[in-house]
Amino acid sequence: MRIDVVSIFPSFFDVLEVSLLGRARGSGLLDIGVHDLRDHTHDRHRTVDDTPYGGGAGMVMKPEPWGEALDAAVAGRDDRPVIVFPSPAGERFTQATARELSTRSHIVFGCGRYEGIDERVFDYAAELGDVRLISLGDYVLNGGEVAAMAMIEAVVRLVPGVVGNPASLIEESHEDGLLEYPSYTKPAQWRGRAVPDVLLSGHHGRVAQWRRDQQVQRTRERRPDLLPPE
């Protein structure tokens, strides 16, 4: 998988060197390019934004640097990318979105500041790839960088070979529409707290039933919106 990121804060993405993502890059499963939007400006101040037509607060990101940066991000490839613009005004990011994106060979993340990017950029980007505006949740971040990072992590760990034990991907929150069951390890007693007896019983059927019950109970308590209406 190839990922390109366009941002005015390229150093945000330095952490992609570490942990799981760093290993995926080292092993050749993942190739990442980070593009500084300001490298695509042509004035002395490296200006990326301007005042909004029609008036109003805040600044809007100018289309010209974005056009050049997106051209650079897709250059030399013959596969059609998906171009993701993290935005609080986008569709909601879910595990299903992560799964869909994990099947793509090339993803471009366009990280804007939250006030916005000139609308024509999205229109132009649609000529280069499949455009998606995606929100991490119903809150506002200062820019798309942190959101892009979260999406990259959620997507890349689903690429075959990135997570060592594929079974660990199946039994986790959201994969089956329910929250994950509680986990315990040794010792069986710790600071007066015992591991539930059923987990020590060695009875696989009872363990599976208990875990399922816990998933449903937790989901009902913490995320009733995930359950079908009763």
Residues interacting with ligand ADE, by CB under 6 A? 86-88, 114, 135-137, 139-141, 144, 147
CB 145 within 8 A of CB 134: no
Closest approach, Cβ 147 to ligand ADE, in A, equals 3
Task: Give whichever of 49 and 210 is closer to ligand ADE, judged by the CB atom.
Answer: 49
Q: Where is the binding site, in residues?
A: 112, 136-141
Closest approach, Cβ 90 to ligand ADE, in A, equals 6
Closest approach, Cβ 223 to ligand ADE, in A, equals 18
Task: Give whichever of 81 and 144 is closer to ligand ADE, judged by the CB atom.
Answer: 144
Q: Where is the binding site for S-adenosyl-L-methionine, in residues?
A: 112, 136-141
89-94 LR contacts (CB < 8 Å, sep 24+)? 89/133, 89/135, 90/132, 90/133, 90/134, 90/135, 91/132, 91/133, 91/134, 91/135, 92/134, 92/135, 92/137, 93/134, 93/135, 93/136, 93/137, 93/147, 93/150, 93/151, 93/154, 94/174
Task: Give whichever of 95 and 214 is closer to ligand ADE, judged by the CB atom.
Answer: 95
Task: Give whichever of 114 and 124 is closer to ligand ADE, judged by the CB atom.
Answer: 114
